[in-house]
Amino acid sequence: MKNTKALILVLFMALTTINAQEMQNKLSLMPWPKNVSENTAKFYINSDVTISVFGEDQGRVRNAAVNFLRRLTNRTGIFLKNGFPSFNDDSANIKVYFSSIANLSIDDDESYTLEVLENSIIINANTDVGALRGIQTLLQLTSYDNSGYFFNGVSINDAPRFVWRGLMIDVARHFQPVEVLKRNLDAMASVKMNVFHWHLTDDQGFRVKSKSFPKLHEIGGDGFYYTHSQIKEVVEYASNLGIRVIPEFDVPGHATAILAAYPEYGSVKDTTYTVERNAGIFNPTLDPTNDKTYEFLDTLFTEIAPLFPDEYFHIGGDENEGKHWDANPEIQKFKKKHNLKTNHDLQTYFNIKLEKILNRLGKKLMGWDEIMTPNMPTTAVIHSWRGENEGFSKGGTLIDAAKNGYNTVLSAGFYIDRMLSIEHHYSVEPIGDVSLTTEERKRILGGETTMWSELVTPTTIDSRIWPRTAAIAERFWSPKEINDIENMRLRLEVVNFRLEELGLTHIKNRDVILRSMTNNNDISALKSLSNVCEPLKVYSRNAGGTEYQTYSPFTLFADACVADAKDAVAFNSLVSNFINDNKDKENVLNYLNLWAKNYGSFSKIENNPNVKPLKDLSKNLSEVSEKLANVISKETLDSKTLTSIQENIAVLKAPFMDVELAILDELESLISYCKSNYLTN
Amino acid sequence: MKNTKALILVLFMALTTINAQEMQNKLSLMPWPKNVSENTAKFYINSDVTISVFGEDQGRVRNAAVNFLRRLTNRTGIFLKNGFPSFNDDSANIKVYFSSIANLSIDDDESYTLEVLENSIIINANTDVGALRGIQTLLQLTSYDNSGYFFNGVSINDAPRFVWRGLMIDVARHFQPVEVLKRNLDAMASVKMNVFHWHLTDDQGFRVKSKSFPKLHEIGGDGFYYTHSQIKEVVEYASNLGIRVIPEFDVPGHATAILAAYPEYGSVKDTTYTVERNAGIFNPTLDPTNDKTYEFLDTLFTEIAPLFPDEYFHIGGDENEGKHWDANPEIQKFKKKHNLKTNHDLQTYFNIKLEKILNRLGKKLMGWDEIMTPNMPTTAVIHSWRGENEGFSKGGTLIDAAKNGYNTVLSAGFYIDRMLSIEHHYSVEPIGDVSLTTEERKRILGGETTMWSELVTPTTIDSRIWPRTAAIAERFWSPKEINDIENMRLRLEVVNFRLEELGLTHIKNRDVILRSMTNNNDISALKSLSNVCEPLKVYSRNAGGTEYQTYSPFTLFADACVADAKDAVAFNSLVSNFINDNKDKENVLNYLNLWAKNYGSFSKIENNPNVKPLKDLSKNLSEVSEKLANVISKETLDSKTLTSIQENIAVLKAPFMDVELAILDELESLISYCKSNYLTN
């Protein structure tokens, strides 16, 4: 570990002193491997590059090697003589060895070693999946110099810290077609994630075709659902990438879509339900006292479980407030009869019945942390989504679960739909300094980022997942000590752009939305604004869950903005350098002058109905930037100017079209600096 | 027809005098309807918009109405109260009526009427597919003014000129995943195209999973193929859009991939074949004298034909030079025995046997125009790809076929892979002034654009198909008299950008390639260059078919460039205005000054291996632009400057990285103008 730390330190110091282009040509590995050492070799990439696979191949490594060649040739522009990998060919210059085929389970060995020398590259792994991880690392080593593209000479010995490194995608609130999942699976594989948690049902939709209960997809899915062959296609695609697929069928709450189709299994009798269009927590709940409910779930799971080869099956189990249980006297009677004191007890009764069904189907039950009640068997896996912020003690339900004997997976802190900065998520340390026994530590399987989809569509989902998930993937894979924010940002910048190679739309669709907003006029003013604005955070964009419904427009300015607005992040450190160290004055002025001009171009497109509401944002930003640039250049500030600057700031503090200006703090710091140093009267 | 012409003329005159934004707010219909009259109404789009479907619905219109609502809300940013269409609801403000379900055949009625009034919109059609066409027209009528988004008041009575309006996509040379096909089907539907011709097999790949002959996809497909459920998914998706799917299995030539899997059906005995990696015409050919070949095709077609409900089945039949037949004495013996004088006769023998197999499967045979031989039954459909340019008389094989009694479809003139300008394709008039009987005219079903995929990948294919195919779709749908190039260009500009709504990547992926080329550095210089450069035309980019192989990089500068380079097209008319009418001098200078600065930014990124080869292009363009701007501003030219300008031009005439500078003619026109008017010594 010490070597890695030292290398990181050296690398970081080097990176901060050389220019951006040179930096990008340096190692941009993410997740950072367990052990890396550099050598001076450069393996130049030319048309003679060949890759050969050694070992009993069942498709995964061949698939990865084909993709490797495609990406390499497209990235470098080099015309390779051999477009396909060979097998057991000692003359190949890139050789991949492995000895067994992984089962895709939590016991898989994903370790590998990678040697890049002048004329030879060797990847060595115990399993085929380990080999895939090594191939991704190699791809991240492409650089160029005046002689052309090359792989950096390194010696890497790598293995993950956690065995469960997941991304959850909610396809219920907004349906996500197969191609969205596939490109995100490719992206996950590129940062060595290995679990795709598929949140398939919720109040707003049931997304699997059911032969046993066709109204589930017809009514509960509004026509937006996956066929069985599509599910098999996604599972196979994931498996080829060394990614497990965990389906989630959320019960007994979050069940409105199920009950819209089959109200007879609901806790309110003789009623009808309609598929939910708003966001929030809703009351429709399966009736756990009705034997028919279990017959229904038994038949449904018997139909659907075989589509998912993984041993885990997620039953949700979250956010059931039990209001419909309280309101039904029959359910109350049942609770008394069975000595179930609380609704939690009743839900545990339900969960235990479900676990039996799932066990019979060869599945282990997994659920959100509400399922962790005193009577819940420790065979269940606890998915922790509540931590200190939700009133739990240090380490939240994750640590509780591990101590209570459950295997557990962390999502608290990784809710990327909250639109928080990457710094926030990257700094979440799953275990921290909590003291655990070896057994307890082993029960902490890893973590999952959660992409809840109330506010995302296929057009925008990539820009909400990426690039932040790449940094979180590092948190799940790399040693705890890899935690320098600035170095992570530098590497992430490269990883972020390389993700486009996989068809991700996180960069390009931002322009698509701006073009649409402006009716294909000049988008430069909006683009510049979008680089200092961020979507409102922590669900304030959709207060109460009613502002945006399922079919609201998600092609507004906020949808073209992302967390960690690029220019805002850069401006933040420049302002800090300027104020604290009297450096970067010119760079601060460059930004201010850029924004000073914004309203000039903005005013040409402001008549568009979706652009108009941003007028005060653009205008006041331009005004305040111009004034501040003037003050800082001339090093003098009069009180009249100060007042007018403060008036601009007051306007800019309001949200505009669900975005917030992400440089407000920096502007205010500059103002107080100017006040302290330049105020004349 | 007269009214339409008058309207077009008025519209065109109006469009050319108002500014770009106003123009975009005017009618941008494409294909232009048969009859349009405007009224002064504006139907304002607000949250109360509802759409209701009247008629026996089997899914197509509901699907179209759901998509209509999604696109409308995303385009306008309006939060609709009703996210789904209703049925038979008289209170809806948009009502869609139709009386029958189309069969998806060449006899379908696709006509419709559309009335847009102040508070009510009515679409009326005989068939559900006619209703879909009307819904697309309505979507093209969205405009905005200071009061918001609205539909233009119109009264439209529309029907297509040709019943067959197709796009062929070759998925053999480069495999195109399902999502590529789906987004292109959506785009086709948006411009009222109704035939997707799926070129599924060729020398470079066999793209259908076969249960009877698994080596076809395993070996012949290199692992890139469609499963049966994916094929069904695409066919169903197309059907929902009112698009027929015609599969093509190219035989007896273009069969290398088949023979790589099953060499026993080849015309050379005791040999092996490998899947072809180059482009061109190759010799491997099925053996038409072997009974087993027909058993093979019978079994294969019996397995695969049922996946495609359409009555037509394309068997290719093109470009068989018969060299392997000539070389095989057994085949020569067979020809003699059966009195088959030429290889064409032998191929007809083969085709007639195939037609019997297909007839038994309920299919009609369609083939490229080589199948039109004296003995070929007129039940076959002739796909015309050869015209005057290929040595045929006026009207090419299309007119010959119609006169010979065959139904026929035109692709000569619509080979979009040749990268020619939209003006070229739009000007191809299928029938022209050829005199035909009513019966002969009826046999001309329509046309197809052909996207051969030797040089396209999923990343670039959209920018090769669109927007040119939208203008060709107008040629297939609209009256012959709709043929004004300038007016088409104005409308196409709007249609082009709206295509992004459907997920097409034709605009956004150009930046993706430039970002990749520059390793995520500033792409502005390359972007500006890409707006005046066009990929080499008519297959000169891939001379002899060997420069680019299947797995060569298609992420080079040429792949970021498109036909009809934007700034080149604009510059062309400005230069003409300047030289001929002494107008637009400032605009000409603006462009020259823009390019004069190009090398300044280019030089910052020129060290990248894929950027470096463009240095002389950027540098000489900057130099010549600066000099010319100077000459034109000062209205004086000395011979030394002239010489140096000519030296720049000489350099610029060479292709750079497979692109050509598309403003060379204009620059040379400017030079001769300057020579004539400003030369001092």
Kindly state whether B556 is in contact with chain A, defined as any CB-CB distance less than 8 angstroms.
yes
Does A146 sit within 8 Å of B77, measured CB to CB? no
Chain position carrying tokens 């993706």: B512
Chain B residues closer than 8 Å to A73 by CB: 551-553
Q: pLDDT tens digit string along B306-358?
A: 999 999 999 999 888 899 999 999 999 999 999 999 999 999 999 999 999 99
Q: Collapsing DSSP states into helix, strand and coil, what is residue A477? A: helix
- Torsion angle (degrees, nearest 10) of CA B610, B613, B618, B623: 160
Strand-pairing partners, residue B593, are: none
Calculate the alpha carbon distances from A187 to A82, A377, B425, B499 in Å: 25, 35, 39, 26
pLDDT at B526: 98
Q: pLDDT tens digit string along B252-272?
A: 999 999 999 999 999 999 999
pLDDT over threshold 80, residue A580: yes
Structure tokens at B66: 């759901």
Residue B331 zone, left/alpha/beta (φ > 0; ψ -120 to 50; rest): alpha
ipTM of the complex: 0.94
Chain B residues closer than 8 Å to A555 by CB: 74-75, 77
Cβ proximity of A458 and A504 under 8 Å: no
Please give the Cα distance from A497 to A28 (Å, whole number): 11
For the question of residue A474 being annotated catalytic, the response is no
Q: Which residue on chain A is closest to B522 by alpha carbon?
A: A21
Q: pLDDT tens digit string along A546-576?
A: 899 999 999 999 999 999 999 999 999 999 9
Does B516 sit within 8 Å of A74, measured CB to CB? yes
Chain position carrying tokens 């197709």: B166
Q: β-pairing, A201-202 with A407-410? A: unpaired
Nearest by Cα to B169 from B207, B200, B202: B200
Cβ proximity of B164 and B409 under 8 Å: yes
Chain B residues closer than 8 Å to A509 by CB: 508
pLDDT at B236: 97
Residues 247-306 of A with CB under 8 A from B: 277
Calculate the alpha carbon distances from B152 to A128, A641, B118 in Å: 60, 48, 9
pLDDT over threshold 60, residue B17: no
Q: Which residue on chain B is closest to A657 by alpha carbon?
A: B77
Kindly state whether B218 is in contact with chain A, defined as any CB-CB distance less than 8 angstroms.
no
Which positions of B are catalytic?
319
Q: Collapsing DSSP states into helix, strand and coil, what is residue A41? A: strand
Nearest by Cα to A279 from A561, A657, A541, A560: A541
Residues 604-663 of B with CB under 8 A from A: 607-610
Nearest by Cα to A350 from A373, A330, A329: A373
pLDDT over threshold 80, residue A19: no
∠ CA A380-A384-A389, rounded to 5°: 155
pLDDT at B5: 52
Q: Which residue on chain B is closest to A150 by alpha carbon?
A: B609
Q: Omega into B467 within 30° of 0, i.e. cis?
A: yes
Kindly state whether A44 is in contact with chain B, defined as any CB-CB distance less than 8 angstroms.
no
pLDDT over threshold 80, residue B57: no
Mean pLDDT of A498-526: 96
Q: β-pairing, B201-202 with B205-206? A: antiparallel
Name which of A83, A277, A609 is nearest B277 (Cβ-Cβ).
A83
Structure tokens at A635: 């090093």
B473 Cα to chain A: minimum distance (Å): 22
Q: Omega into B374 within 30° of 0, i.e. cis?
A: no
Q: Collapsing DSSP states into helix, strand and coil, what is residue A521? A: coil
Does B553 sit within 8 Å of A76, measured CB to CB? yes
Burial B609-628 (b: 16+ CB within 10 A, else e): bbbeebeebbbbbbbbbbbb
Q: pLDDT tens digit string along B464-497?
A: 999 999 999 999 999 999 999 999 999 999 999 9
Structure tokens at A223: 């026509």
Place A392 in a pLDDT band, splitting at 50, 70 and 90: confident
Biggest CA–CA distance in chain B, Å, is 82
Mean pLDDT of A396-409: 96
Is the pLDDT higher at B7 or at B430? B430
B342 Cα to chain A: minimum distance (Å): 39
pLDDT at A55: 85
Does A74 sit within 8 Å of B551, measured CB to CB? no
Place B4 in a pLDDT band, splitting at 50, 70 and 90: low
Q: Which residue on chain B is closest to A558 by alpha carbon?
A: B77
Name which of A148, A549, A610 is nearest B77 (Cβ-Cβ).
A610
Does B83 sit within 8 Å of A549, measured CB to CB? yes
Kindly state whether B603 is in contact with chain A, defined as any CB-CB distance less than 8 angstroms.
no
B171 Cα to chain A: minimum distance (Å): 17
Cβ proximity of B197 and B314 under 8 Å: yes
Kindly state whether A223 is in contact with chain B, defined as any CB-CB distance less than 8 angstroms.
yes
Q: pLDDT tens digit string along A357-368?
A: 999 999 999 999
Does A223 sit within 8 Å of B608, measured CB to CB? no
Does B69 sit within 8 Å of A551, measured CB to CB? yes
Kindly state whether A227 is in contact with chain B, defined as any CB-CB distance less than 8 angstroms.
yes
Number of A to B CB contacts under 8 A, please give it: 143
Does A76 sit within 8 Å of B610, measured CB to CB? yes
Kindly state whether B508 is in contact with chain A, defined as any CB-CB distance less than 8 angstroms.
yes
Radius of gyration, CA atoms only, chain A: 27
Calculate the alpha carbon distances from A628 to A637, A672, B301, B662 in Å: 9, 11, 74, 45
Strand-pairing partners, residue B123, are: B96, B114
Name which of B149, B222, B503 is nearest A609 (Cβ-Cβ).
B149
Chain A residues closer than 8 Å to B51 by CB: none
Q: Which residue on chain A is closest to B148 by alpha carbon?
A: A609
Q: What backbone phi and psi angles, to 5 degrees, belong to B333?
A: -60, -45
pLDDT over threshold 80, residue B10: no
DSSP of B427-457? T--SSTT----HHHHHHEEEEEEEE--TT--
Interface test with A, best of B74, B78, B204, B552 (most A CBs within 10 A): B74
The catalytic residue among A218, A233, A319, A501 is: A319
Please give the Cα distance from B194 to B245 (Å, whole number): 9
- What is the reported pTM? 0.95
Radius of gyration, CA atoms only, chain B: 27
